[in-house]
Amino acid sequence: MCAIHCQALGTAANGRLFAYESGKCEITMSNLVEGMFQNELKILLGTRAKLPQSKLLQFDLYTRLNPQKRQLLRPGDVEVLKNSNFNAKWPVRIQIHGWAGSSSSCSNAAIKDAYLSRGDFNVIILDWSRQSLDISYPRVSRQLQSIAQTLAKFIRFLNETTGVPFEQFYLVGHSAGCHISGLTGKLLKPQRLGAIIALDPAGLVQRYLGPKERLAPDDANYVESIHTDITLLGNPSDRLSHASFFVNWGLGQPHCPNGTATEFDFVCDHFAALYYYVESVRRPQMFGAVRCNSVDDIQAATCGCAAPSSSLCTPNAFMGGEPAVPKKGVYYFSTRQHLPFAYNDNLVHIQKPQPSTVAAMRPLGR
């Protein structure tokens, strides 16, 4: 879910510059609600335009040559691709927003900027806002397969036209975007994506689906999931990925609500995964994690150090980073309340679980 727009430098959607600047994003609750209800009214009245799936999606390319001004790519359009800054020598990172999101969200800008701060990448932000801006999440979920089909076709087009190996493609999805990533990986087989990074995968519908209908470990050479909101919008399963990181037990995130000034308070936990991942790309091997026996240890908050009396552990693995470093298992780590979120001592700090932001915001007595 996403309803945040970069106000400091404008948005890519209107041709102005698009970059993340902390504290310069504002919540647009009225715009979100208005847009959703306008869309619902069109559906009820039968006046919603029926377009082919390829016309409903937008692919925004950013590179170090155009870090803040998008270049639109179109599946199958070789001339547009040739005239863009796309470079076959650079890895491809495709970002996919979630329910009610858009390509111009501040979190997308933050991830894009993090990649371009590290080196030369083809960063492509997939915009599926014409379908994501829908009050009915079950209805949105039913459209994920067709979105994945168009994305898979686009990736094949880039591979066939430029020669970029499939292993050089990473999909970085948030919420429902994680499952679009997984479905895309399935459609590309026997070719395999290099990695899928799943940022708080959606669980509203997908927690009840089998691996053929949602993200699964076999959808790329490596799949990593970062869980920050298993209470409301996220997915508590460890069966989505090779490595599952449950940050702060997947419950209340210390900087929430609204610690990044970029999202509604009640979805702050859900968006936390994006900002932790951004920091991991900029500062690799900072989010050390301790391995747990199972997801049951996460839910019981019983993961700990080898020495039971210690609350500081030597990490078994690190979350995120660029490029992805494959690992397996269930992991826990905690974060600081303020930026930078990672501790700077190369240790895992075992902390008591905090209530989710949603639970903490409930009026007393309810």
pLDDT digits (tens, 9 = 90+) for 71-82: 999 999 999 999
CA-CA-CA-CA torsion sign (71, 74, 80, 83):
positive
What residues contact residue 174 under an 8 Å CB cut-off, 6+ apart? 2, 96, 97, 98, 101, 107, 199, 200, 271, 273, 274
Q: Do the Cβ atoms of 229 and 269 come closer than 8 Å?
A: yes
In this structure, is residue 218 part of a structural domain?
A: yes
Domain that holds residue 240: 4-273
CA-CA-CA-CA torsion sign (163, 117, 329, 206):
negative
Q: Do the Cβ atoms of 172 and 74 come closer than 8 Å?
A: no
Question: Is pLDDT at 366 greater than 50 in this prediction?
Answer: no
In this structure, is residue 333 part of a structural domain?
A: no
In this structure, is residue 363 part of a structural domain?
A: no
Q: Which tens digit of pLDDT belongs to each residue from 302-338?
A: 999 988 778 999 999 999 999 999 999 999 999 999 9
Q: Which two tokens stand for residue 231?
A: 């209470």
Q: Which tens digit of pLDDT belongs to each residue from 190-223?
A: 999 999 999 999 999 999 999 999 999 999 999 9
In this structure, is residue 310 part of a structural domain?
A: no
The three-point CA angle 54-58-64 to 5° equals 140
The structure tokens 């930078």 sit at 340
In this structure, is residue 352 part of a structural domain?
A: no
Whole-number pLDDT of residue 22: 52
- Percent of the chain at pLDDT exceeding 70: 83
Of the candidates 142, 146, 165, the one whose C-alpha atom is nearest the C-alpha of residue 155 is: 165
Q: What is the pTM of this model?
A: 0.89
In this structure, is residue 347 part of a structural domain?
A: no
What CATH number is given to the structural domain containing 200? 3.40.50.1820
Return d(Cα 336, Cα 324) in angstroms, integer: 23
How many structural domains is the chain composed of?
1
